[in-house]
Amino acid sequence: MTAVRIAVLMTAHNRKQKTLGSLAALYDQRLEAGVELDVFLVDDGSGDGTSEAVAESFPAVRLVRGSGDLYWGGGMRAAFDAAAAAHTEYEYHLWLNDDTMLYPTAIETLLATSRALDRSGYPNALITGATRDPGTRAQVSGGFYFKWHPIFMRFELVEPSDKPVRCDTTAGNALLIPRQVFQTLGNLSADYAHIVVDFDYGLRAIEHGFTIWTPAGYLGETPDDHPSRNEIYELPSLRDVFHELRQPKGLNYGRNFQQRFLPAKEWVRFLRRFRPLGWPVPWVLTYRKLIVLIAGRWVYRGRKSVSSLMSRRRRSTP
């Protein structure tokens, strides 16, 4: 059987145990004969000994050291560059989050789905594995479809079925990319530091005539441990809100993509790239809820102040 070489691209920052767990699950894959993995891991300035632990436990991993300001997008670009510099003809790239634990047959399923789609008239399809939270069992990542209408750029996770399901774009937690795709698209876009860089890649793939599919069933687990603010009074001050909206990770409010307020400049760049005429509409729709939340926070704090004032007056009344 012809050898199938896969470049696994990963990036990590200060979560050593999760990184080691993800690598352990990766090397525990039940691979068919001839399938080989070359792992390229960017350690973006970790201070918790991630590089040393990986080198000791998984000496075959090709480590790339980052400065600490790459974030996910920059780290994955560096991993892509390292794979390209290896001068190896890879049949696939596999993007893998360092907090994603693949089930033992995940890569086997990704490859089988890719080949089945080739035979069905969908050559060089991107295959995105759906993952779920190990505690709640709720879906965390995978493929996305446009909810409502594409003009609004509102995405919803595609729930895996008993057969492959077509998607409009994809997250990068566990994404298998055939050679023709990465030769056509090249590296991840440098326009985004952390969020939506995977969505950008998926939409660019669609523009070039490729398709995106999620296989049957879940392929692994990703903890949904992003910080969130689920009450209006937990929002920071208005000054801090605008500060966070200028940061690469944006402002987290809830536990799904729709409740994460993306960095304002990058979101404008993304929308103008893919919706050059109607981009103000989805931009307004994205941040409209933030206005409501801030107003609600002011009302809540106003009521709290009034209540506190009345309590003090009652105590001071003879």
Query: Residue 257 pLDDT more than 50?
Result: no
Taking the mean position of all CA atoms in its chain, how far away is CA 4? Answer: 26
Dihedral sign from CA coordinates of 279, 283, 288, 291: negative
Q: 309 falls in which pLDDT band (50, 70, 90)?
A: very low
Structural fold of domain 4-221: Spore Coat Polysaccharide Biosynthesis Protein SpsA; Chain A (3.90.550)
Q: 226 falls in which pLDDT band (50, 70, 90)?
A: low
Q: What's phi and psi for 191, nearest 5 deg?
A: -80, -10
Could you read off the pLDDT of 101-159 as tens digits, one per residue?
Answer: 999 999 999 999 999 999 999 999 999 999 999 999 999 999 999 876 666 777 899 99
One-letter identity of residue 237: S
Task: For the chain, give the percent of residues with pLDDT over 90.
Answer: 63
d(CA 250, CA 245): 5
> Where exactly are the structural domains of the chain?
4-221, 232-314
Q: According to the model, what pLDDT value does residue 93 have?
A: 98
Could you read off the pLDDT of 14-60 as tens digits, one per residue?
Answer: 999 999 999 999 999 999 999 999 999 999 999 999 999 999 999 99
Least confident of 71-75, 212-216, 232-236: 232-236
d(CA 65, CA 75): 9
Sheet architecture: strand order including 101-102: 101-102, 220-221, 131-132, 139-141
- pTM assigned to the model: 0.84
Q: According to the model, what pLDDT value does residue 256 have?
A: 42
